[in-house]
Chain A
Amino acid sequence: MSTRRLTTVLMGALPILFVLAIWQALCSFGYAPPSLLPPPGKVFLRLAQQLGNVGFLDDILATLIRLFAGFLIAVVLGVGIGLAAAVVPAINAVVRPLVQVLAPLPKVALYPALIILFGFDHASKITLVTLDALFPILLSTYYGASMVEQKLVWSALAAGTPRWQILFKVIAPAALPSILTGCRIGLVISCIVVFLAEMISSTDGLGHLLVGAARTFQTVDMFVPLITISLLGLMLNGLLYGLRKYLLRGFPEV
């Protein structure tokens, strides 16, 4: 079992190593001048140095705060609204057209307005992250909760469960696989959007670091935040995967 898991991890690492190898090859064989594309070794060395730098850690912290706050608000709203819409037809009638209008909207287009409303600090970025992560979570919660097998509900009702408790005792737990799938998509989107928001206008955070380095042609420093956010994304996704595995331990493999 554990050797099989090890092989899966190794298999997953291979394509990443392949990308790094191409990157290294581009530098080694002179296809890209080192001033424009620094070799990966240099970038990772710089990253290691930066991890001892308090200023850099503050930037990571700022990004993480925005990412988590935005993502968690999106989870609460998305799951709440999604479940409510699946159970109460009146709520569905109100939510459905709103979702249809708002979901395809490029949320980043609202960002200038959000800055005017909430300022340059955390609030505007958290709001943007929430807006972008909300819809995948809401939609998958709604579909998961709508597709709950009728006979699970009947079994619970016959066992004496009051109708108002069915939402929490049957529908929400039965929809958990879909809810967590939505959360996983929402988390990836959160990573992208928080970085994007910081690139557009910010005074700190990883996205801000990247833009600052790019403006002064410090190419090594430009790649460090990029690698950092993808490593953070990898770790967060791993955490969520573990949580999912624990919460869904009774469900058939999905």
Chain B
Amino acid sequence: MRGKVRKLSPPSERQATGGRMQVPLRPEIDTGTGATSGERARAMIEIASVSKRFETSGRKSHLALSDINLTVNDGAFVSILGPSGCGKSTLLYIVGGFVAPSEGVARMKGAAITGPGPDRGPVFQEFALFPWKTVLGNVMYGLRQQGVKRTEAEAQSLRLIEMVGLKGFEHFYPKELSGGMKQRVAIARTLAYRPSVLLMDEPFGALDAHTRTRLQNDLLNIWERDRKTVLFVTHSVEEAVFLSDKVVVMTRAPGRIKQIVDIDLPRPRIRAELLLDSHYQKYVVDIERMIDDGRDDAEHS
């Protein structure tokens, strides 16, 4: 059973996991277009001078993102943290290719992003499962779109469903599942077509605290196996620190990057140990303070 599950990640990546723990503890903050070719080789996503302006009613427009520069390295778990309305989801949608930036460019493996593609798999807070398909049908969807034969797609999907802990629910419809189970299906559906990057938009925001904790742990376990690049949007400081290599703290509208914090905590991370760890606690407190400062600024102005 375990062997089957392991098959999901290519052996080369699995072997690499051991040595990758010390990888970029202090990754370079790319300040824009000046990335050297050496950096670009490891960069998975580059966001260069991106702004996004939404046209609202009349002649008014709303500046959601202002001059964002960010580089996400291959295999990194990066969280974008900020108050609601800071444009953090918009930034994720720009990387997903669902929304076009008003200025600047987002690149994936060096190529400008012009639209959605199976190299970037989204997971939404609202799950966005296809209600007319069963759990199996949802998970198979991407594989079938990639031209994988039905029997093969089914076999792979069943393994993934087992991996996310939903064995026995293959033929249930999403409406028959709890919120946590729905999000597990959504994660499996996205993992199925093997994106290079996972784009997670407050994926656990609609779940109760207990389910949320369990899914965070499970996500980390899955991530430890193949170390996909993850861009994770959240407004929970603890969640961001617990999961990430790097936390991008954003300011209130217009969304700017306030600070990028490298989370120098060992992996694999065990929740029970981490909560007692003074380094973890300091990260949480520091970042919370950072966000509070931002709030004061906004109130004074």
Which A residues lie at the B interface, using CB under 8 A?
Answer: 149, 151-152, 154-161, 170, 173-174, 176, 248-252
Distance in Å: Cβ of B146 to nearest Cβ of chain A: 6
| Contacting pair A159 B118 (CB below 8 A) | yes
Contacts of A152 in B (CB 8 A): 128, 130
* Separation of A161 and B144 alpha carbons in the complex (Å): 10
Q: Contacts A160-B118, A252-B175: A154 and B98 contacting too (C-beta < 8 A)? A: yes
| Contacting pair A250 B128 (CB below 8 A) | no
Distance in Å: Cβ of A180 to nearest Cβ of chain B: 12
Contacts of B126 in A (CB 8 A): 149, 151
User: Could you say which of A149, A160, A170 has the most chain B C-beta atoms within 10 Å of its C-beta?
Assistant: A160
Distance in Å: Cβ of B143 to nearest Cβ of chain A: 9
- A249 to chain B: closest residue by CB: B173
In the assembled complex, B117 has its CB within 8 A of some CB on chain A: yes
- A150 to chain B: closest residue by CB: B98
Q: Is the interface of A mostly helix, strand, loop or mixed?
A: helix
Which residues of chain B from 94 to 130 have any CB-CB distance to chain A below 8 Å in the complex? 96, 98, 115-118, 120-122, 124, 126, 128, 130
Contacts of B121 in A (CB 8 A): 158-159
15 A-B pairs, CB-CB below 8 angstroms?
A151-B126, A154-B128, A157-B116, A158-B116, A158-B117, A159-B118, A159-B145, A159-B193, A160-B118, A160-B142, A173-B130, A176-B132, A250-B173, A251-B132, A252-B175
| Contacting pair B117 A160 (CB below 8 A) | yes
Contacts of B134 in A (CB 8 A): 250
Q: Contacts A154-B122, A251-B175: A159 and B128 contacting too (C-beta < 8 A)? A: no
Contacts of B124 in A (CB 8 A): 151, 154-155
Contacts of A176 in B (CB 8 A): 132
Distance in Å: Cβ of A136 to nearest Cβ of chain B: 23
| Contacting pair B146 A160 (CB below 8 A) | yes
* Separation of A157 and B174 alpha carbons in the complex (Å): 20
Q: Contacts A250-B173, A250-B174: A157 and B115 contacting too (C-beta < 8 A)? A: yes
Distance in Å: Cβ of A156 to nearest Cβ of chain B: 7
| Contacting pair B118 A158 (CB below 8 A) | yes
In the assembled complex, B133 has its CB within 8 A of some CB on chain A: yes
Contacts of B175 in A (CB 8 A): 250-252
* Separation of A143 and B195 alpha carbons in the complex (Å): 33
* Separation of A252 and B177 alpha carbons in the complex (Å): 11
Contacts of B85 in A (CB 8 A): none
**What 9 pairs between A and B have smallest CB-CB spacing?**
A159-B142, A151-B128, A250-B173, A157-B116, A160-B145, A160-B118, A158-B116, A173-B132, A250-B132
Which B residues lie at the A interface, using CB under 8 A?
Answer: 93, 96, 98, 115-118, 120-122, 124, 126, 128, 130-134, 141-142, 145-146, 173-175, 189-190, 193, 195
Contacts of B142 in A (CB 8 A): 159-160
Please report the number of residue pairs spanning A and B whose Cβ atoms sit closer than 8 angstroms: 71
Contacts of B93 in A (CB 8 A): 154
* Separation of A156 and B189 alpha carbons in the complex (Å): 10
Q: Contacts A155-B189, A160-B193: A250 and B146 contacting too (C-beta < 8 A)? A: no
* Separation of A252 and B182 alpha carbons in the complex (Å): 14
- B173 to chain A: closest residue by CB: A250
Contacts of A151 in B (CB 8 A): 122, 124, 126, 128
* Separation of A44 and B134 alpha carbons in the complex (Å): 47
* Separation of A149 and B189 alpha carbons in the complex (Å): 17
| Contacting pair A161 B131 (CB below 8 A) | no
Distance in Å: Cβ of B193 to nearest Cβ of chain A: 6
Distance in Å: Cβ of A163 to nearest Cβ of chain B: 8
Contacts of A156 in B (CB 8 A): 130, 141, 145
* Separation of A157 and B199 alpha carbons in the complex (Å): 14
Q: Which of B122, B131, B145 is the one whose CB lies under 8 Å from A251?
A: B131
| Contacting pair B116 A252 (CB below 8 A) | no
Other 17 A-B pairs with CB < 8 A, given A155-B130, A158-B195, A250-B132: A149-B126, A151-B126, A151-B128, A154-B122, A155-B189, A156-B145, A157-B116, A158-B118, A158-B190, A159-B118, A159-B142, A159-B189, A160-B118, A173-B130, A174-B132, A248-B132, A250-B173
Distance in Å: Cβ of A157 to nearest Cβ of chain B: 4
Distance in Å: Cβ of A160 to nearest Cβ of chain B: 4
* Separation of A75 and B287 alpha carbons in the complex (Å): 58
Contacts of B117 in A (CB 8 A): 158, 160
Distance in Å: Cβ of B96 to nearest Cβ of chain A: 7
Q: Which of A158, A160, A250 is the one whose CB lies under 8 Å from B131?
A: A250
* Separation of A196 and B141 alpha carbons in the complex (Å): 48
- B174 to chain A: closest residue by CB: A250
Contacts of A161 in B (CB 8 A): 145
- B126 to chain A: closest residue by CB: A151
Q: Contacts A155-B122, A158-B121: A149 and B128 contacting too (C-beta < 8 A)? A: yes
